[in-house]
Structure 1
């Protein structure tokens, strides 16, 4: 989602997020691992079914024998930034990564809507939970993480707050749809500018919708799609929350504060001095993500 749209919503001031870059760069961010000829890394194109439609998806499989920790990586609206560099870094660090295009986006059949995208996330997680899929792609069901950028971060947060089948969640400059919608309901004079700014990024990426329809859908869910309301549940999960200074940091800070207020001791929250796509901080972002995943994997192993 374009940053100018997010700024046009008049969100509250950013506060409470650390601004330091990661102290070290994990090796997987900048170096390939030793090849494993017996169990090489691989890409597998898959169709993930959601309400009768097969979503285009790519499974990036890590090298090595045995079940792997696995991450579902969700793109934003419409998904011009796919964050595949993060997926590759996570794979080099030993994680399988599943990426997909929601119904009605980027050639996946069906009609796109915010509600449908939420259903698609549920479908993708159900796919990862299938025993046959876990055997085929060497997935460790006890070590599954959900991650998302912008709108994908919104859905990752909502899923993690409502389900116990994820070990943790990564929220990259998440869009708080409910907070944005509440602002538009309170300031209807901003609506047309917000719609115009949102639609600038769409191109031919989405089917069956437009910016006005999506804005109306968000407004109808203003009361029940505010991520701050999910803070009590999120406080119980390991959580990496990364804001972008020129993106959604003003919206991310209240979520971080709410999680902390609910005792979120497993929260790591940080702001990078970049735009919403983290365009000039990709190595720093990869370092944060891979470093957090490494720590999470160690925590999961210690708990066994």
Structure 2
């Protein structure tokens, strides 16, 4: 059962079932020869449960674990993991590897063994991502196994790569951000990451995927005080392109910063409400 009313409730207030008590299960799965580590947060009660992959940003200092707990209280499984080459996971970090890792996570959740072990409702699989995680989410929103997607202030690395060839200001700002993120990342540098964006800008640029995205159920949240995923660059261009084909996009504008520092509960409620609507759709 999915119930968004549980977003702000403590577990003590819920009608607990000792046989199906909430749990946090350490797990691992393989992505292109590398072992990724993560956790599955499972809800109380008997399934099958709607299930979401929660994707953190770059490099992951701002961990959205509160969203994982809030959505679990609503009745969802939540899978969280670290990408290759980040936070102690072996391998090299790259944006390309992150994309591959997301597909591997979807493959893992839809594997028969995982479906049985975690009581997964494969008709209600979702992607939720913040910043870089939002970018990755939108790259896989068209995967037929995904029912709907939530991109929280997505940062379009493809667009940065595409305009970085002629907009020095945006390129320099991105490069400076990359430099601040290197400590938890393996075998990379700001120069390598910037070049990867420049090389893949035409392939990754989200506005160029607007026609396909217009056919999907997508919520994008936008923070008005965001100086990282700046609205005019990382949202307005994409939203304008999507709306040329379909007005199916759901947008939520929130007066806060990139981390939603003072609006975390509102963010959780917004996501829970959107997911409830999608889960109830046949």
1:144 aligns with 2:125: yes
Would the alpha carbon gap of residues 37 and 253 (structure 1) be closer, same or farther in structure 2, given more than 3 Å must change? same
Matching residue within 172, 176, 195 for 1:196: 176
Would the alpha carbon gap of residues 221 and 290 (structure 1) be closer, same or farther in structure 2, given more than 3 Å must change? same
1:129 aligns with 2:107: no
Q: Which aligned runs of 4 or more in structure 1 are off by greater than 3 angstroms?
A: 188-194
Q: Secondary structure at the match of 1:169?
A: strand
Q: How much is the aligned-residue C-alpha RMSD, in angstroms?
A: 1.6
Q: 1:244 offset after TM fit, Å? A: 1.5
Q: Which has the bigger relative contact order, CA under 8 A and spacing at least 6?
A: 1
Q: Secondary structure at the match of 1:181?
A: helix
Kindly tell me the number of residue pairs found equivalent between the two proteins: 273
Would the alpha carbon gap of residues 189 and 242 (structure 1) be closer, same or farther in structure 2, given more than 3 Å must change? closer
Alpha-carbon contact 2:135-2:151 (below 8 Å) kept: yes
2:187 aligns with: 208
Q: 1:60 offset after TM fit, Å? A: 0.4
Q: Secondary structure at the match of 1:145?
A: strand
**Unaligned 5+ runs, structure 2:** none
TM-score (norm: length of structure 2): 0.92
Q: 1:190 offset after TM fit, Å? A: 5.6
* d(CA) in 2 for partners of 1:255, 1:79: 24
* d(CA) in 2 for partners of 1:241, 1:294: 16
Matching residue within 241, 255, 276 for 2:258: 276
Would the alpha carbon gap of residues 257 and 297 (structure 1) be closer, same or farther in structure 2, given more than 3 Å must change? same
* d(CA) in 2 for partners of 1:31, 1:193: 40
1:184 aligns with: 164
* d(CA) in 2 for partners of 1:26, 1:66: 17
**Unaligned 5+ runs, structure 1:** 1-24
Q: Secondary structure at the match of 1:166?
A: coil
Matching residue within 52, 55, 68 for 2:33: 52
1:29 aligns with: 7
1:261 aligns with: 244
